[in-house]
Structure formats: C-alpha cells, structure tokens
C-alpha cells in the first residue's frame, strides 16, 4: 500500500503537472505562442534569457520540439576546408588572437598557387566547399580577392567558394576603388559562390567601439549583406556572444538578423559563436568575462530557434567554439546543423580553443547518432548530398 501511494504521488504525470503549475505564467505564454507558430518579440526573447531552473529546461524542450517540427530528425554537416590565407591584419580587434603585424616572425600570406593547391587537395579528399578568410593585409591589392576565386575555379571548377567576410569585402572594395556592389559583382563573376556572415560580432555600435573599434559599423555590415543577397550571393549569419555583451544585445541582434531575412531571404543559417577568450587582449586586459556559461550557450541556441524558426530554419552549433559535449546539448535544444569538418581551423585555436582543428566525418556521424538523430552530408546551401538512415 505504502509503495503504491509513493508511486502515485511521484508519477511522471504528476511531475509534469507540478512543473507546468510552477512555471512562470508569462514564460508559459511565450512557449505556447512559439509552439503555435507565432512570432516572438525582442521583449519575449529577453524574458526567455532570464529563465532558470524548470523554465530553462522547458526552453530546451520547446526549442527541440519546434526544431523537430521544422527540420525533422536530420542533423546536417558540410565537408569543407578552412583556408586562412593571411594572418597579417591592419585592424586590431580586441577579441582576435589570430592577427599579426607584418614583421612578426609567424606572420604569413599564402600565394594564390598555394590556395589553389589546398582547394584541389580538399576536393580530392571529399570536400565540397572551401571557406576562405584572412586578415586585412595592407600589402595585397583589391584584385587579389577575385584572382583567388578565378584561380580556384580554373583548377577545381565544382568546389563551392564560401569566402570573404563583410569586413574583407569593404577592405577589398576600398583597395580596388569600387563600391560594394561593383566589388561583389566582380567577385561573383570570378567564381565566388557565397559569403560567410562573419564580422557581425555583436550588432551594437556601442559594444563594437569597445571590442573592435576599427571594424565596419552595424549599418555597413547590413549594407554588405543585403547587397550580396540582392546580387544572388547567399550568406550565413553569425553572432559572437559571451564577452562584454548580454541578453539585451543578443535579443536585438537576433531580431535584426530576422528583419534582414524577411527582406532578402538570403541567409542560409544562423551560427551562434561562443567567445573563445584565453589568448585574447579583450580578456587578458580584464575587459571581458571568460566566455559564456553553459546555460547561456543553451539559451542562445534555443532562443535563436524560437525567434528565427519561420525565417531561418537552420541553426548551426559551432563544435570549434563549444567542444563536442556542449555541441551535443545544443543539438538537443533547437540546433540542427553541425557546420563543417574544417580540416584546418586556425582562428579559434589561436584564441585558445582546445577543441581541435578538424572533425572527421565519421566522428560527426557518431556524435549525431549518439543523440538519436540522423546524420546527413549537405552542401553549403543545404542541399542534402548523402543521407544515411542507419
Ligand atoms: S578579427 Fe579579422 S579584422 Fe579583426 S583583427 Fe582579427 S583578422 Fe583582423
């Protein structure tokens, strides 16, 4: 009898009923709106960023359910190679440990021949994409950028060139004495297929003045992105979080990305990038905290799913920034893409990441299966190339 009574009062049903009863009514209403497919406001996102305890667990569950309804159980990834063609940079972003001055002993610039060689090697090893980004090297001419694209396509015509951040586009355009549109058009004609939506960092000019004062402002970033989309060049979208920022800027950033997408439909995915702090000036000088907490990582991915779902259905987890353990958790809280195998990641490594410079395809598939989902290789624009049900 006693056992039966215990069983009744601690049943799963009663547990969930208790949880539902104890949840904050405002937060419950936001979850219900999200599950009904209603658009969440920036204010709703701010409420969700405040969640803790049971509401935080519910946030993960709701984001996971919305992910399931939208993209199913597939977790996608792309086989790609990173090529960071120079680390010499005239900017001094305080969160960046990758940049070097020209005379530093480990400063480098790759020749176009070497970039072409690495691209061909990547293609022969199964990569469908090269992701090419570099510092703002004062020694290169603006036409270096289209020359890279032309030379790669000449040797490896079918590889997708995903290259040059909006900051590099502004730099290259200035150097070529062209406007943004003309420069992007020239790159497209030379073989550029898509742009990384990096250099967004956090879309707040006040914070940008603190963490990257020489970088393009918010308006210019949006202008480059919209111009690319209008020219038929898709881009990713990103947000670097966990430094001097907080929920207000995150909610505003995600809403800004959503507004752009409503207008252009040119984003392929949203990629939250957790700040890697150890070797950065920003952290070492006491200007930033040591990255986001685990619960902030979960919240950013889950709330991105809730805010963006209707407009950007792919939420990517950066295994480079989070490591495989947090990556698994974020895949269970709204994310559906694992990004690229990368082959040679440098930016996070120099900032102090210990997560590795590459992840093999088999490792990715194993991680995806371990959480009960189905791995699928995709191309850069999310066409499925290789789907493995079992
Ligand atoms: S983030 Fe880019 S622009 Fe800024 S210092 Fe580093 S390499 Fe240069």
Above 80 in pLDDT, residue 180?
yes
Ligand 1 centroid to Cα of residue 178, in Å, is 22
Predicted local distance difference test score (pLDDT) of residue 386: 76
| Residue predicted with more confidence, 19 or 51 | 51
List the residue whose alpha carbon is closest to atom 7 of ligand 1: 135
CATH number at residue 133: 3.20.20.70
Ligand 1 pocket test target in 96, 168, 238 with most atoms within 8 Å of CB: 96
List the residue whose alpha carbon is closest to atom 4 of ligand 1: 93
Rounded average pLDDT over 168-185: 98
Ligand 1 pocket test target in 84, 98, 164 with most atoms within 8 Å of CB: 98
Where does the pLDDT of residue 76 fall: very low under 50, low under 70, confident under 90, or very high at 90 and above? Answer: very high
Atom of ligand 1 nearest to the CA of 95: 1
Specify the pTM.
Answer: 0.95
Confirm whether 37 is domain-assigned. no
Predicted local distance difference test score (pLDDT) of residue 4: 46
Percentage of the chain beyond pLDDT 90 is 87
Ligand 1 centroid to Cα of residue 91, in Å, is 6
Predicted local distance difference test score (pLDDT) of residue 259: 98
Atom of ligand 1 nearest to the CA of 92: 5
Ligand 1 centroid to Cα of residue 332, in Å, is 32
Closest to 245 in 3D by CA, of 271, 221, 272: 272
Atom of ligand 1 nearest to the CA of 135: 7
Ligand 1 centroid to Cα of residue 340, in Å, is 21
Where does the pLDDT of residue 20 fall: very low under 50, low under 70, confident under 90, or very high at 90 and above? Answer: confident
Where does the pLDDT of residue 353 fall: very low under 50, low under 70, confident under 90, or very high at 90 and above? Answer: confident
Above 50 in pLDDT, residue 42?
yes
Structure token digits, residue 292: 């986001």
Ligand 1 centroid to Cα of residue 352, in Å, is 16
Above 50 in pLDDT, residue 179?
yes
Confirm whether 39 is domain-assigned. no
Q: Could you list the residue range(s) of the whole structural domain that residue 121 is in? A: 74-387
Residue 126 DSSP one-character state: T
Q: Using a 6 Å CB cutoff, which residues line ligand 1?
A: 89, 91-93, 96, 98-99, 135-136, 167, 212
Q: Is 174 exposed, middle or buried, given 0-12, 13-18 or 19+ CB atoms closer than 10 A?
A: middle
Where does the pLDDT of residue 8 fall: very low under 50, low under 70, confident under 90, or very high at 90 and above? Answer: low
Confirm whether 378 is domain-assigned. yes
Confirm whether 50 is domain-assigned. no
List the residue whose alpha carbon is closest to atom 3 of ligand 1: 91
* Number of folded domains that form the chain: 1
Confirm whether 206 is domain-assigned. yes
Closest to 114 in 3D by CA, of 78, 152, 141: 152
Q: What is the CA radius of gyration of the chain?
A: 22
Where does the pLDDT of residue 390 fall: very low under 50, low under 70, confident under 90, or very high at 90 and above? Answer: low
Per-residue pLDDT tens over the stretch 83-135: 999 999 999 999 999 999 999 999 999 999 999 999 999 999 999 999 999 99
Confirm whether 234 is domain-assigned. yes
Confirm whether 321 is domain-assigned. yes
Ligand 1 centroid to Cα of residue 154, in Å, is 29
Ligand 1 centroid to Cα of residue 233, in Å, is 23
Ligand 1 centroid to Cα of residue 210, in Å, is 14
Alpha-carbon distances of 3 from 10, 16, 76, rounded to whole Å: 11, 20, 46
Confirm whether 4 is domain-assigned. no
Ligand 1 pocket test target in 84, 91, 164 with most atoms within 8 Å of CB: 91
- Mean pLDDT, all residues of the chain: 94
Atom of ligand 1 nearest to the CA of 96: 6
Whole-number Å distance between alpha carbons of 277 and 204: 20
Structure token digits, residue 140: 């290169």
Task: Give the contacts of 180 (CB within 8 A, at least 6 positions apart).
Answer: 169, 170, 173, 223, 224, 227
Predicted local distance difference test score (pLDDT) of residue 3: 46
């Amino acid at each position: 009898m006693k056992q039966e009574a215990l069983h009744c009062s601690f049943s799963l049903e009663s547990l969930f009923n208790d949880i539902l009863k104890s949840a904050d009514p405002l937060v419950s209403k936001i979850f219900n709106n999200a599950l009904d497919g209603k658009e969440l406001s920036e204010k709703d996102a701010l409420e969700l960023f405040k969640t803790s305890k049971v509401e935080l667990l519910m946030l993960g569950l709701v984001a996971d359910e919305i992910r399931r309804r939208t993209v199913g159980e597939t977790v996608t990834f792309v086989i790609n190679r990173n090529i960071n063609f120079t680390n010499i940079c005239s900017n001094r972003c305080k969160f960046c440990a990758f940049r070097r001055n020209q005379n530093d002993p480990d400063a480098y610039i790759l020749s176009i021949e070497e970039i072409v060689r690495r691209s061909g090697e990547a293609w022969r090893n199964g990569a469908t994409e090269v992701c090419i980004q570099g510092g703002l090297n004062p020694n290169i001419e603006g036409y270096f950028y289209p020359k890279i694209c032309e030379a790669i396509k000449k040797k490896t015509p079918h590889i997708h060139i995903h290259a040059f951040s909006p900051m590099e586009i502004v730099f290259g355009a200035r150097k070529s004495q062209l406007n943004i549109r003309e420069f992007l058009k020239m790159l497209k004609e030379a073989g550029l297929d898509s742009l990384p939506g990096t250099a967004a960092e956090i879309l707040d000019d006040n914070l940008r003045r603190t963490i990257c004062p020489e970088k393009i402002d918010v308006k210019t970033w949006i202008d480059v992105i919209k111009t690319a989309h209008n020219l038929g060049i898709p881009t990713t979208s990103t947000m670097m979080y966990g430094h001097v920022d907080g929920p207000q800027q995150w909610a505003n950033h995600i809403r800004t990305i959503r507004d752009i997408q409503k207008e252009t439909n040119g984003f392929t995915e949203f990629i939250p990038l957790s700040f890697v702090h150890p070797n950065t000036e920003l952290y070492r000088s006491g200007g930033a905290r040591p990255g986001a907490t685990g619960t902030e990582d979960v919240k950013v991915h889950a709330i991105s799913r809730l805010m963006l779902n209707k407009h950007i259905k792919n939420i990517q987890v950066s295994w480079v920034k989070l490591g495989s353990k947090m990556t698994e958790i974020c895949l269970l809280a709204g994310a559906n893409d694992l990004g690229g195998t990368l082959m040679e990641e440098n930016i996070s490594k120099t900032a102090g990441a210990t997560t590795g410079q590459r992840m093999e395809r088999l490792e990715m598939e194993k991680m995806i299966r371990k959480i009960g989902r189905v791995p699928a290789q995709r191309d850069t624009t999310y066409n499925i190339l290789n789907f493995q049900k079992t």
